[in-house]
Structure formats: C-alpha cells, structure tokens
C-alpha cells in the first residue's frame, strides 16, 4: 500500500478528489501514530474561541505546524514527572542511583541510538547537547579553519537568519570581511528553488577559495530539500569542509550522514523531533575526524573519559566519539523530553515515515492545485524528491496572506507565516491525517473567496 503513489490510491478508492470520504478512506488505509500525541482542541488554539459553537470548539485542531514546533508526545509529562520525583526523593544521588534506571550521569545515552537511526550515523558519531546555533558556532572552531587563500563560506541565499549571523560573525572573528567571505548561492531570476547544477558550478569555480560549504539540508522558507550527497561530494572533491544545518530535515526526511561523507551537521529537536520548545540540540561529527588531534577545539569535563572523569586530576582524556565534544552535563528534563518522542520514532522508521509523508504532501498538493486559485502559488519544488513534508504557499500580496492566515487561525488551523507573504503547511506523518489536510484546504478556500 505505502509504495503506491497518491494518484494510484485515489484511483483505487473510486472517490472524488475533493470529498471528505476520500480523506477518511485514505486514513483507514494509512494509519498514523497520532494516538501517541496530545492534539490540542480547536478552542485552545483559535484566536476567537468565543465565536465557535460547542461542537467545533471541542474538536481536535488541525495542527500543520510541526515544522515550527512539534506536538507533545503523550509520555512526555510522565517522563518529566519521574525525573522530578527522583530529584525530590534522592537529590544528588539521582546521578548514579535512579529508580527508573536512567541515572543522570549517563542520561543522554538513552537518546543516542535512535538519533543515529534518524540521521543515518554510526553510534559514535552523534552527540546530544546545547542548541542548534550554539553547536554551529562550537563546531566551526575545528571545522572552519580559514587561510589567506581559502577563507570563504558558501551558503544559500535567504538562509535562516541565525545561520547567517553565525557565519558572518565567525568570518569576522577570524579577521575577514563577511561581505567578502560569504558567497550566497541565489536561485535563478524568477525561480524560488536553487538548482543543484548552479551550486555545483559555484563550487567548481570558487572551490579553491572556499573553506566551508554550509547549507540547510532543507530550506526553511521554500521547503527545498537540497541534494546533500551530490553537493557534499562536489565540495569534498575541491578540498572544502562540508557542514549541514538539519533543523528542517531531521525527523522529516531520511538521511545517511555517514555514508554521504559529511564532515559535520547540527540540528534542533523541537520541530519534527517533538522535544518541546527550546529543546536540546544534536550534532554529527564523522568518525574519520574522531581522535584527530590536528582539529583544535574547545573541551569540557563532560567530554572526558567517564572512567576518569571524577578523578578530578585535570588531565584531559577525551571520549573516543562525538561525545568528546560535550562540555557540560545536559539538562535532564530536556533529554527525557526528547526521549519521549524518540520512543515513538522507534515504533516506525524514517523509510516508513517518508512513504506516508510523500502521500500526505502529495494529497495536499493535489487539493491545492484543484482550487485553481490565482491568489497563491506553491514555491516548494514540485519534484517530491526535492522536498520534505512542507509546502510553502506564496500569496499575491501581504493582504491576502494575512486574511487567509487570520481565517485559519480563527478556525483552529495551526500553521505559520514567514515573511514575505508565505504560509508554510507541514503535514507531519507521525500525527497528521488526510482529514487534517482536507479540512485545511476547505477553510483556506473559503478565506480566498472572501
């Protein structure tokens, strides 16, 4: 079933594209893990709950914003309360004696393997720590090593602001003018996505001057999934270090970071990984760099050998793995929040989630096309191999975008705006349904007609 295209499934159903019966039929054939999540009610997310009748107010909302903040797993509250209980009952002893068998001294061990499964890494290549931008800065210490001949950084135009600021300030910290150090890859005139061949041409032309290539795995504004293995291989062939910001890719699309020979990557966990607002970050360091003493980096005691860590002898002996990049012990509550979500991911696989994601987003695309509205266009690539679950809708004006967004907000549909004039829609296969997609399109259609 899951290997079929959305067109084949719709043909098999013998139901009209725009019918709610089709959405229900698709949901019956392709169940989700929705029951593992807390789904907010319409009344608690609507901007005008007083205008809703009781039946609508008590319905589950249409939450299509997992690309901004994932929903809370049902087990999150239980796990957090368990840690609070251990703290209350045992105090400092919780670091080593823990009645739920999660001693705090090694709490992050519980989230490493599933994180590796999600990003396609070997067990010693992933570390859970800090936040995304902190990790980006931290990893640029060993991996951005500019010289007078090779100091430039290649990134996509309109990168997420935090990435742009990090790269600008790193270049300036090393004494380079950011305007000269940063090469921004633009899309062609009249296009929104950046063509892979244009990126490869830039790498070929300027590669000898580029110290670091750092793109978003999946572009936050357009929803474009870059050809990560092809770009990485081209950059490595020119002697560049390659890093990726996986904020919108992790938990969204399948990746093989180790096999693609990526040097480093970092991500947040509060979007598709559902770890909660401000959730703990993650990082990947290819194991070919593990133990490389030529890489000068910062260190802290939590990255030292656990067998000698508490000897307090100030003799640094790093762990042989990405965990050697840790500085301090992680926030236990943040780690178990991530653990709750990863336990849900462990019930499936990125391969299976991707199959359903292609169907959900393909269904959304078909319904939007069926509207034939002159007021919006999809700026996310139409080729499903070049996108994740998100579709970015560009409206003809800010007035139209705001009208549509406000109408959705009033009716309990959760999505987000990104200036200029884009509303992002992300049907997430862990918990979204085809019925969610159908309801969203119907409400948006009525707003467009106003």
CATH number at 47 reads 3.90.1150.10
Q: For residue 438, what are the contacts with CB-CB under 8 A and spacing of at least 6?
A: 20, 22, 23, 367
Q: Are residues 277 and 225 in the same domain?
A: yes
How much of the chain, in percent, has pLDDT values that exceed 70?
A: 99
pLDDT tens, position by position, 317-364: 999 999 999 999 999 999 999 999 999 999 999 999 999 999 999 999
Whether 65 is covered by a domain: the verdict is no
Give SS3 for 42: helix
Is residue 23 one of the residues assigned to a domain? yes
The answer to whether the annotation marks 329 as part of a ligand binding site is yes
How far, in Å, are 52, 367, 436, 437 from residue 20 at the CA level? Answer: 21, 11, 10, 10
Query: Which residues have CB under 8 Å from 12's CB, separation 6+?
Result: 4
Say yes or no: 338 and 381 in one domain. Answer: no
Mean pLDDT, rounded, for 254-270? 99
Rounded to an integer, what distance in angstroms lies between the CA atom of residue 198 and that of residue 185? Answer: 8
DSSP lists the bridge partners of residue 210 as 152
Query: Which residues are 128's β-sheet partners?
Result: 282
Q: Give the residue numbers spanning the domain of 417.
A: 6-60+350-449
Please tell me whether 245 is known to bind a ligand: yes
pLDDT bucket at 294, cuts 50 / 70 / 90: confident
Range 50-74 average pLDDT = 93
How far, in whole angstroms, is CA 324 from its chain's centroid? 24
Q: Which residues contact 244 (CB under 8 A, 6 or more apart)?
A: 214, 215, 216, 217, 228, 257, 262, 264, 265
E strand map for 19-108: 62-63
Is 67 contained in some domain? no
Query: 3-state DSSP call for residue 389?
Result: coil
- Name 41's Cβ contacts closer than 8 Å, sequence gap at least 6: 57, 58, 59, 60, 61, 412
22 alpha carbon, distance to own chain's centre: 30
- Residue 250 near residue 118, CB atoms below 8 Å: yes
CB atoms within 10 A of CB 421: 17
Domain match, 159 and 40 both: no
The SS3 call for residue 65 is strand
- In this structure, the dihedral spanned by the alpha carbons of residues 136, 137, 139 and 140, taken in order and rounded to 10 degrees, is 110
pLDDT of residue 78: 99
Please check whether residues 134 and 42 belong to one and the same domain.
no
Same-domain status, 271 and 375: no
162 is in an annotated binding site: yes
> What CATH number does residue 90 fall under?
3.40.640.10
68 in any annotated domain: no
- Do 115 and 52 share a structural domain? no
pLDDT given at position 2: 42
Query: Residue 1 — very low, low, confident or very high, per pLDDT cuts 50/70/90?
Result: very low
Write phi, then psi, for 291 (nearest 5 degrees): 85, 0
Q: What are phi and psi of 303, to 5 degrees?
A: -95, 5
Q: In the predicted model, is pLDDT for residue 93 greater than 80?
A: yes
Pair 112, 228 in one domain: yes
What is d(CA 59, CA 39) in angstroms, rounded to the nearest whole number?
10
pTM: 0.96
Q: Is 316 annotated as a binding residue?
A: no
Of 307, 309, 301, 289, the C-alpha closest to 326 is 301
In a domain, 66, yes or no: no
Q: Are residues 299 and 407 in the same domain?
A: no
Is residue 212 located within the same domain as residue 306? yes
The answer to whether 248 is a known ligand-binding residue is yes
Domain count across the chain? 2
CA 172 to chain CA centroid, Å, is 28
133 is in an annotated binding site: yes
Residue 75 maps to a domain? no
| Statement to judge: residues 269 and 357 lie in one domain | no
Is 306 flagged in the annotation as binding? no
User: Is the CB of residue 39 less than 8 Å from the CB of residue 414?
Assistant: no
**Distance in angstroms (rounded) separating the CA atoms of residues 108 and 275:** 13
Given this model, what pLDDT does residue 41 score?
96
What is the residue-wise DSSP string for 228-239?
Answer: HHHHHHHHHHTT
Confidence of residue 51 (pLDDT cuts 50, 70, 90): confident
Q: Which runs of consecutive H residues, i.e. helices, occur in 35-75? A: 42-45, 54-57
By the 8 A CB rule, do 363 and 8 touch? no
| Phi-psi sector, 421: left (phi>0), alpha (psi -120 to 50), beta | left
Q: Strand pairing partners for 41?
A: 60
Would 72 be classed as within a structural domain? no
Q: Are 407 and 399 in contact (CB under 8 A)?
A: no
Tell me: the pLDDT tens digits for 385-395?
Answer: 999 999 999 99
Distance of CA 319 to the CA centre of its chain: 27
Query: Which of 293, 325, 346 is at the close of a domain?
Result: 346
Beta bridge partners of 283: 127, 266
pLDDT value at 396 more than 80 = yes
Residue that is written with structure tokens 């990090």 in the block: 166
Domain finish residue from 346, 364, 389: 346
Of 318, 346, 374, the one marking the end of a domain is 346
- With 60 as the cut, is the pLDDT of residue 213 above it? yes
**Are residue 308 and residue 397 in the same domain, yes or no?**
no
Same domain, 331 and 385: no
pLDDT (0 to 100) of residue 3: 52
How far apart, in whole angstroms, are the C-alpha atoms of residue 430 and residue 415?
16
Measure Cα distances from 349 to 36, 312, 352, 428 in Å.
Answer: 15, 42, 5, 14
216 labeled binding residue: yes
The 10s digit of each residue's pLDDT in 100-153 is 999 999 999 999 999 999 999 999 999 999 999 999 999 999 999 999 999 999
70 part of a folded domain = no
């Amino acid at each position: 079933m899951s290997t079929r295209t959305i067109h084949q499934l719709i043909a098999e159903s013998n139901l009209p594209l725009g019918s709610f019966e089709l959405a229900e039929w698709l949901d019956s054939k392709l169940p989700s893990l929705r029951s593992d999540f807390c789904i907010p009610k319409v009344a608690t997310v609507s901007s005008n709950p007083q205008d809703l009748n009781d039946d609508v107010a008590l319905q589950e909302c249409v939450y299509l914003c997992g690309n901004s903040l994932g929903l809370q797993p049902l087990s999150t509250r239980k796990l957090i309360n368990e840690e609070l209980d251990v703290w209350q009952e045992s105090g400092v002893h919780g670091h080593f004696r823990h009645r739920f068998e999660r001693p705090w001294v090694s709490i992050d061990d519980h989230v490493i393997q599933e994180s590796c499964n999600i990003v396609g890494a070997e067990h010693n290549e992933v570390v859970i720590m800090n936040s995304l931008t902190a990790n980006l800065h931290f990893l640029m210490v060993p991996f951005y090593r500019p010289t007078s001949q090779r100091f430039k950084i290649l990134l996509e135009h309109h990168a997420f602001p935090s990435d742009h600021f990090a790269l600008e300030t790193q270049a300036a910290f090393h004494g380079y003018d950011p305007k000269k150090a940063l090469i921004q890859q633009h899309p062609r005139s009249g296009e929104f996505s950046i063509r892979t061949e244009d990126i490869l041409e830039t790498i070929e032309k300027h590669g000898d001057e580029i110290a670091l290539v750092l793109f978003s795995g999946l572009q936050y504004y357009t929803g474009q999934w870059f050809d990560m293995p092809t770009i990485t291989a081209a950059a490595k062939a020119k002697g560049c270090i390659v890093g990726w910001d996986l904020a919108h890719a992790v938990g969204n699309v399948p990746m093989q970071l180790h096999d693609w020979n990526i040097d480093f990557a970092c991500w947040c966990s509060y979007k598709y990984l559902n770890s909660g607002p401000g959730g703990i970050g993650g990082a990947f360091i290819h194991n070919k760099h593990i133990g490389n003493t030529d890489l000068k980096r910062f260190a802290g005691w939590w990255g030292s050998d656990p067998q000698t860590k508490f000897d307090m002898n100030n003799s640094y002996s790093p762990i042989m793995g990405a965990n050697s990049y840790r500085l301090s012990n992680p926030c236990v509550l943040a780690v178990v929040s991530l653990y709750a979500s990863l336990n849900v991911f462990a019930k499936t696989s990125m391969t299976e989630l991707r199959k359903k994601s292609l169907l959900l987003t393909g269904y959304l695309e078909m319904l939007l096309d069926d509207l034939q509205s002159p007021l919006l266009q999809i700026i996310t690539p139409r080729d499903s191999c070049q996108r994740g679950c998100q579709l970015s809708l560009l409206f003809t004006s800010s007035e139209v975008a705001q009208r549509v967004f406000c109408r959705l907000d009033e009716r309990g549909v959760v999505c987000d705006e990104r200036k200029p004039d884009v509303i992002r829609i992300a049907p997430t296969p862990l918990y979204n349904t085809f019925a969610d997609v159908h309801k969203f399109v119907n409400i948006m259609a009525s707003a467009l007609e106003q």
